[in-house]
Structure 1
Amino acid sequence: MNSFIRFVQTLDYMRMVVGICILVDGYPLIFFFRETLKLAPGSTAFTAAALAGGLVLMVPFTILRRLYRPNMTMLWLGVGFLLLSIFYMFFFNGVPGFDEYGRDTIYFAYVLIFLFLLINIPNDIIRVFVPIVVLFTLVSNLGLVYSLITDPTWAIGQRATITLNNGDEGSGNPHAFSRNAFMGVIACAIGLFRPQTNILFKLVCFFAGLLNIAVLVLTQTRSAIVALILAVILFMYFNVRPPQIRMAVRGLVKPVPIIIMVLGFIGVIFFFQRYYTIYLVLYDYVSSFMERNLENVYALLGQKAQGTDYKATLDDSAANRSVSATFLQNVVIGHMHMLVFGYGYKYTYLDVPLMESFTNQGILGLLLFGGINGMASYYAVRIMRTNPNDLSVFLAYFYLLVFVQLFTNGRPNEISFWFPLALMIRFMGVEHLFPAYLSPKPIVANQDQFVVISTAEQT
């Protein structure tokens, strides 16, 4: 009977995690159903309904009866910035004729509801979080592959994305798919490195990880590639020590890891021998990606493009950020007083979210938005060093993508920032409040791990 109850509880936790995944990483699947399967091409209502469905899946049976303590400092910083954004939207709007009040209000409401539901969700989702993320990102990647195969407008050489609303090849959003792939790589790595993971799931993580890396290459998004390089460097720095190397070597000579490596190696060799064209495609993508980024390096150094007689130039994305930096410089030099309160809600799109929070919402906007990201950076590094539990480790490495995007793309008001940040508000910096059985290492559990609203029994 106890086994059956635990099984039902596990299914319930899995339901909540699927809801979280829909909010944090749902766009690839939403685009697949909306555009590829033609359920509602170009419909923002369909997107809103799908996100609302994720919120419904997150609702625990103990809602309003048991609240779990988040990181309170990050909570106040995050809620403060959201409320400041809402205030600016209605009373200090920087866009003449702004007509997106309804849409933006709905998105802000979604973020606040998401954060509230996270505070109601039990800590025990930690034990099923990584497996669900692995499977969710795998399904999303398979949907992308199917979309590319069946899309007559997509050709090899273009960035991998799903065309939106029957538009041209530039109408998709490759960043949504690169984020999905980055999350998948992190989750698969955690699944592979955890000794308690069974062999079947390790095989799933291995092949899903390869697919995630392939999608990262196909999407050609610099922010995800840079974040992955940072993740590898930081993982090596915090985890590769002589004792860890000896432990890893001892672990690798056991039968199960040897079987996994042999099967994985044979599978990869067989796959590329049978589908050699796929290898050539990935090689061409990597080569073109490196050449394009080297062109930006040459442009910054004022040198000629490689193998040519003309001076290298920045691509459109890098050029936009250069213009944004020039804009801020001009404001600081000639109109510094405007930075006290900012120019208003969404006044200008700088493509550098941290910079935009300053220019549009002034000193307070920068302090709130920069403050919550500064705290998330601090806790991410601490978690990488201590590895307290699977969910915390996943969020620490996932934050690297958010960190890179602070300087590379997006806007500070977007839900692409705030859904992940809400998840980090709930679970970062409060690892000492989690029960010891949720950690691979013994942690002294704090009795004040949640606030009980009623007389419900504490667990």
Structure 2
Amino acid sequence: MKNLIRILQDLDYMRMVVGICILVDGYPLIFFFRETLKLAPGSTAFTAAVFAMGLVLMIPFTALRRLYRPNLTMFWMSITFLSLSIFYMYAYNGVPGFEDHDREMIYYAYTLIFLLLLINIPNDIIRVFIPVVVIFTLFSNLGLIYALITDPTWAIGQRATITLNNGDAGSGNPHAFSRNAFMGFIACAIWLVQPNTNVLFRLLSVFAGAINLAVLVLTQTRSAIVALILAAVFFFAFNVRAAQIRTAVRNLVKPIPILMMVVAVVVIIMFFRRYYSVYAILEGYIVAFAERNLENIYALVGVGTKEGFRATLDDSAANRSVSAQFFSNVLGGHLHRLILGYGYKFLYLDVPVMEAFVDLGILGFVLFGGVNLLTMYYALGIMRRNPNPLCTFLAYFYMLILVQLFTNGRPFEISFWFPLALMIRFMGVDHLFPAHLQNHPVPAPTESFDVVPKPA
């Protein structure tokens, strides 16, 4: 009977986590159903309906009767920033003739409702969070692969994305799919190393992780690649010691590991000889990615390419270069304008943390930057302690948000605030979680052991 009750509880927690995934990472599946399966091409109403369904799935049976404490400092800073943004949208708008008040308010409403529901969701979703994320991201990746296979306008070498609203080939949003792949890869890695993970689920983690890595390569998004490298650096910095490296090296030079490495190299060589097209595709993506980034570097330093042509920045890098020049001009001659800012969405800078400063002034910059600074602080602590799977996932997931703070989007977008809301709910408060949800639980007092020793 206890096992049946636990299964039913886990299914209920899974329902809530699926709702969270729809809000945080729903765009890949939305694009698949909306554009690939042609259920509602180009329909923003369909997107809003799916997000609403995600919110409904998140509602626990104890809603408004049992609340859980979030990170209060980050919570109130976020509420103040969102309120400030809404106030600026109506009272100090930087766009002449702005007419999108209703649409913007829908986004803010979704963000605030999401944050409210997270406070109602029990901590026990930690038990099922990682498996649900692995499966959810796997289905999203499979949807993308199906869309690419059935899209006659897509060819090997193009960035992997789903074409939106019958637009030009590659006119979709590859960042949505790279985020999905990044989340999936982190979740697969965490599930794989969990000591209580079943062998079959470990194999599923390896399979899903390989697909996530392949999608990351296919989307060719710099922010996700940089974030993955950053996450790997922090992982090794906090989890690998010099003694472990020395032990691993000594174990590798033994006969059996050497033989296994030789066999693995031979198998890989034979595979690529048999399927040379796979090798050519991988090489093409790597070379194209490197050339595009090297050309940006050449353009920044003002040199030409080896063919004699002058290097130019790509669209995103060029836009950020213009944004940096604009911000430099403001600092040089219009510094006073940054006290209150230039107004809501005055200029698309493609650098969210900079745009928060330019649009909303000092207060907006302090609030938006402060929330992210605190999130980074807690993320580093979680990486070092590894308290539970959910917090560990959020800490490494934040590496992508951190990179995008300087490379992609606007500070008002739900692509920032849905993940940040999840981090506000669970990061910095893990010491309040019950012992059975922790990787390293604190022993509870018993008849034979006291947590606090009795005075002599």
**Does TM, normalized by the shorter one, top 0.5?**
yes
Contact 1:299 1:312 in 2 (8 A): yes
Assess, with a 3 A threshold, how the Cα gap between structure 1 residues 206 and 272 changes in structure 2: closer, same or farther.
farther
Matches of 1:185 and 1:2 in 2, distance apart? 33
2:204 equivalent to 1:209? no
Find the counterpart in structure 1 of residue 218 from structure 2: 218
Greater alpha carbon shift after TM alignment, 413-422 vs 145-154: 145-154
Q: State, as a whole percentage, how many aligned pairs show the same letter.
A: 71
User: Structure 1 regions of 5+ residues with no counterpart?
Assistant: 253-260, 446-459
Consecutive unaligned residues of structure 2, counting only runs of 5 or more, are 253-260, 445-456
Partner residue in 1 for 2:342? 343
Letter in 2 for 1:65: R
For 1:27 and 1:222, locate their aligned partners in 2 and report how far apart those are by CA, in whole Å: 19
Task: State the alpha-carbon separation in 1 of the partners of residues 272 and 17 from structure 2.
Answer: 34
Letter in structure 1 aligned against 2:314: D
TM-score when scaled to structure 1?
0.90
The match for 2:80 is 80
Q: What residue is the counterpart of 1:308 in the other structure?
A: 307
- In structure 2, relative to structure 1, the CA distance for the partners of 1:373 and 1:152 (3 Å cut) is same
Alignment partner, residue 368 of structure 1: 367
| 1:452 paired residue number | none
1:357 alignment counterpart: 356
CA contact (8 A) 1:303 1:311 kept: yes
Aligned equivalents of 2:304, 2:408: Cα separation in 1: 27
Partner of 1:451: none
In the alignment, what sits opposite 1:394? 393
Q: Is the 8 A contact 2:85 2:412 kept in 1?
A: yes
Partners of 1:246 and 1:106 in 2: how far apart? 55
Q: Which moved more, 1:346-355 or 1:94-103?
A: 94-103
Aligned partners of 2:244 and 2:192: how far apart in 1?
A: 15
Equivalent residue, structure 2, for 1:456? none
Per-residue deviation at 1:443? 3.4
- Mapped to 2, the partners of 1:412 and 1:101 lie a distance apart of 17
Deviation at 1:444, TM superposition (A): 6.4
RMSD, aligned CA? 2.5
Q: Measure, in 2, the Cα distance between the counterparts of 1:96 and 1:268.
A: 59
Whether the 8 Å CA contact 1:217–1:285 is kept in 2: the answer is yes
Shift of 1:339: 0.7
Q: Secondary structure at the match of 2:67?
A: strand
Tell whether the 8 Å contact from 2:160 to 2:170 is kept in structure 1 after alignment: no
80 and 35 in structure 1: CA distance in 2 versus 1, 3 angstrom threshold: same
Once the two structures are overlaid, the 10-residue window that deviates more, 348-357 or 241-250, is 241-250
CA distance in 2, matches of 1:245, 1:440: 24
Residues 235-244 or 215-224, more deviating: 235-244
Residue 188 (structure 2) aligns with: 188
Change (3 A) 1:274 1:206: farther
CA shift, 1:278, in A, is 3.4
Structure 1 residues 193, 249: closer, same or farther in 2, change over 3 A?
Answer: farther
- Structure 2 counterparts to residues 26-41 of structure 1, below 5 A: 26-41=26-41
TM-score by length of 2: 0.91
1:157 Cα deviation after fit: 1.5
User: Cα–Cα, structure 1 residues 20 and 372, in superposed 2: closer, same or farther, change >3 Å?
Assistant: same
The residue number in structure 2 matching 1:433 is 432
What is the CA-CA distance between 1:283 and the residue it aligns to?
Answer: 2.1
Residue in 2 that maps onto 1:151: 151
- Bigger mean CA deviation after superposition, 387-396 or 186-195: 186-195
Q: What count of residue pairs does the alignment treat as equivalent?
A: 437
CA contact (8 A) 1:214 1:282 kept: no
Q: CA, structure 1 residues 124+345, in 2 after alignment: closer, same or farther (shift >3 Å)?
A: same
8 Å CA contact 2:66, 2:120 repeated in 1: yes
Q: Secondary structure at the match of 1:425?
A: helix
Cα–Cα, structure 1 residues 65 and 174, in superposed 2: closer, same or farther, change >3 Å? same
Residue 47 of structure 1 aligns with an amino acid whose one-letter code is T
Asked if the contact 1:352–1:409 (Cα under 8 Å) also holds between the matched residues in 2, the reply is yes
* Equivalent residue, structure 1, for 2:64: 64
Partner of 1:114: 114
1:216 & 1:315 partners in 2: Cα distance?
20
Q: Which residue number in structure 1 is paired with residue 405 of structure 2?
A: 406
Other-structure match for 1:327? 326
- State whether residues 432 and 443 of structure 1, in contact with CA within 8 Å, keep that contact through their aligned partners in structure 2: no
C-alpha offsets along residues 29-64 of structure 1, whole Å, 9 cap, x if unaligned?
A: 000000000000000000000000000000000101
Distance (Å, rounded) in 1 between the aligned partners of 2:99 and 2:251 = 59
Alignment of 1:86-97 (within 5 A): 86-97=86-97
